[in-house]
Structure formats: structure tokens, C-alpha cells
Amino acid sequence: MLNELIQKLKDRTAIIGIAGLGYVGQPLLLRYTDIGYKVIGFDIDEGKVNDLNNGYSQIEHISDDRMKNAVSKGFEATFDFSRASECDALILCVPTPLSKHREPDMSFVVNTTDMLKKYFREGQVVSLESTTYPGTTEEILLPRLEEGGLKVGENIYLVYSPEREDPGNPNFETRTIPKVVGGQTKACKEVGIALYEQAIDQIVPVSSTKAAELTKLLENIHRAVNIGLVNEMKVVADRMGIDIFEVIDAAKTKPFGFTAYYPGPGLGGHCIPIDPFYLTWKAREYGLHTRFIELSGEVNRAMPEYVVSKLMDGLNDTNKSLRGSKVLVLGIAYKKNVDDMRESPSVEIMELIQAKGAEVAYSDPHVPKFPKMREHSFNLSSVSLTPEALASFDAVVLATDHDKFDYDAIYEHAKLIIDSRGKYRHVNSKVVKA
């Protein structure tokens, strides 16, 4: 059975199932379809399923032409999870957010696995790609795979292989990003390698699913801690009257021992703001308190309030209060040049501004209408940055530095700019550095 499954994966006659058709699932389905696999996509969102089957990706950096091409090659999206029994491989790419108490919310992983488990069969491999704490694959997926009498490592195989997508990054694609693969058993790892080596240029095998889970956390905690450091340095430099961007640019000329990270209005995206809390939560089970990691999280979470405090200072200098003012937030995606809103600090900035009695609007060329989100709601559409529109606001807050913004025109027509990204670092008049 093991050799038969590996051969089907290698000769590309295996059917690949992908559960969760968002920012991780879509690039993966495109890659497997491109290289000749039959791919079935699963999602509970019927609207998304229908759009994908009609060739509409719903994600800005994935063109509709690419999705139409996948459909022409046999890709199907469905909300009928019974079709999982057709698949030789099932790859889970579902969200793993935090609860309101900043603890892991595993409901998407649990619910998806529960929807699939009645269709698990001999000769399948199940791979979890969602970011999570060490032990998730073993504690949550393994017992569900074995509920019906199957035995992991003998007649069904279990893998953890963390996603490493970077939406909008033109330098990397699914194929070129090395893939970490950990199996629940040696046989599971063999199958996992066979599953991914067809689609990814470089496979990085590790000894266990736990090692693979912790690898993903380390990657993103590394970024979160260093961004927390530079955000704190930004506050110190500002108090001292020093340009933190000048300091970073000078420091990065050192050819060893320094990696440049840049400050901003807070952390966004599905991974970096969330992953540290997965590890701190799990570490408590072992009687450990991850003080260093938690401190960086506190610093990063405080950044939206810091930006709003700089907004209030700037308005005060023009004899205005924030209450009753009109404020335009520039960029609400979590990073430049994408439409991805997950965990965007811009949204928290908007909520803080609104809570203090100001009228808030936004402009984002990648997000024409404020999307439906689990925890945030604004009935707003993107403001066109005409001279008249810019001049009508008491202040604009640069939160996400999209390349499509005309920064010269913004500077010319805005009354006050709160700059959290260093785009106006060389300008002193009517700019508050945040």
C-alpha cells in the first residue's frame, strides 16, 4: 500500500484534495494542476466555490486567467466533502486564528477534519499546512484518522508541512519556496516527501510533525521579535529626535551580524501577529513562561495606539482635537501591494480613531470595498485620492505604503500626514513621523 501510494504520487495519477481555498490553498491547487494532477478543492463557502469553478480567484495577485486555466485542466471546487474519498492526498489549508483571549482557535482544523473523517480510507495521505502549536497533528488529527479503524503509518499516512506563502512577493512562488515536511512515522514522512517533491523544488525533511510545527513558529517568531525590537527602537529614537530609518540604513551596511527590519504601525498577516501566542500558550503546558516572546508581542500590539497618539499630537499642533475631525487612513491591507486584510493593524487604527469620536475613511487601491471580516465591520468604500478629497480631511494616516499611491500628490494636498512607514522621512513640514 505504501509503495502503491508513493508511485501514484510520483507518476502524477494521484488525485489531490485541498481543503481551504484561500491565500494558501489557491496557489497550491494551481501548482498541482499545472503539473498534471487532478485536483479537487473543498471549501464551506458556496460563493467562493462557485466563483472558483467559474474561473474567478477572489485574490488580487492570483489572476482570473490562471484560475480559468486550472478549471480547463480539470480543477473542481466543491462544498461536498464526501468527494474526499476520491482523493489520494488531502491537504488542509484552513485558518488557525486566535480567540479573543489570545489562545489558539483550532475550530477550523477540528471542524474540517471532522467533516472529512468519515471519508478517510486506506491508501490516503493527510497533510496539515495550517500554522499551529507543536503537537497539533498528533493530538488533533491522528485520533480522528484512526477513529474508523485505520492505522496511521500502516494504511493511512499523516504529515505536517507548514505553508510558507508570502502573498504578493514577486521573488518567490509556491514552487521555489523550500518545503519542510515532517511525518508521524517514517513511512508517513516518505509519503509526504513523495507528495511534495513533485511540486516543490526543494524538500526539507525533519524528524517529526512536532519539529515541522515548531519550525514554522520559529520562522515567524524570529520576525515578530525583531520587528518588536525595531518598533521599540523607533519610539526611543523619536523621543531623542533621531530618524530611525537613517539608523537602520546605516546599520545594514555592516556585512555580517545584522539583518534590517523596519518599524511600522503594528503587525499584520495571518502568521507573524499570531504564531508567538501559539508557542507561549503551548509552553505553559510545560511550566514555561516565554517572557522574551511575549514582551515583543506587547510592543507590537501597542503600535496602533502609538500611531493614534501621534495623530492626536499632530492635530493638537494645528489647534484641533481628534474628536470631530475627519481622518483618512491610507492603506488597510496588512502589507504593501496586496489585498490581504488578515490581522491588519490599519483596521485597529481605524477603530481607535472612530472610538475617539472622529470620522474615519480609508483609501486603498487594492481594497475597493471594506470586506466582510470576522471581528471588524466598516460600511466603507475606498476614497479616490483627488486633490479635493485629500484637502477635505483634517489628517491622513499612512498605514500601508502601497506603490500605487502618488506620494507627491498626497503631500501637496493633505493638510497633515501621520507617517508610520517612513515615506516622508526627509520632510518636516506638515508631517508627523509615527
Q: Which positions are annotated as active-site residues? A: 271
- The Cα angle at residue 153 between residues 42 and 10, in degrees rounded to 5: 60
Question: What are the CA-CA distances from residue 419 to residues 42, 104, 192, 320 (Å)?
Answer: 42, 33, 46, 18
Distance, in Å, from the CA atom of 191 to the CA atom of 158, rounded to the nearest integer, reads: 9
DSSP state of 182: E
247, amino acid identity: V
Distance, in Å, from the CA atom of 375 to the CA atom of 389, rounded to the nearest integer, reads: 29
387, amino acid identity: P
Residue with cell 513523495: 194
400, amino acid identity: T
Q: What is the dihedral of CA 361, 367, 369, 371, to 10 degrees?
A: -100
- Nearest Cα to Cα of residue 224 among 134, 295, 168: 295
SS3 136: helix
- The Cα angle at residue 222 between residues 376 and 336, in degrees rounded to 5: 45
- Nearest Cα to Cα of residue 227 among 335, 103, 97, 313: 335
Distance, in Å, from the CA atom of 304 to the CA atom of 231, rounded to the nearest integer, reads: 11
Q: Cell digits for 391?
A: 484637502
Distance, in Å, from the CA atom of 253 to the CA atom of 186, rounded to the nearest integer, reads: 45
CA atoms within 13 A on the CB side of 135: 10
Distance, in Å, from the CA atom of 142 to the CA atom of 160, rounded to the nearest integer, reads: 11
Distance, in Å, from the CA atom of 3 to the CA atom of 338, rounded to the nearest integer, reads: 42
Distance, in Å, from the CA atom of 407 to the CA atom of 241, rounded to the nearest integer, reads: 24
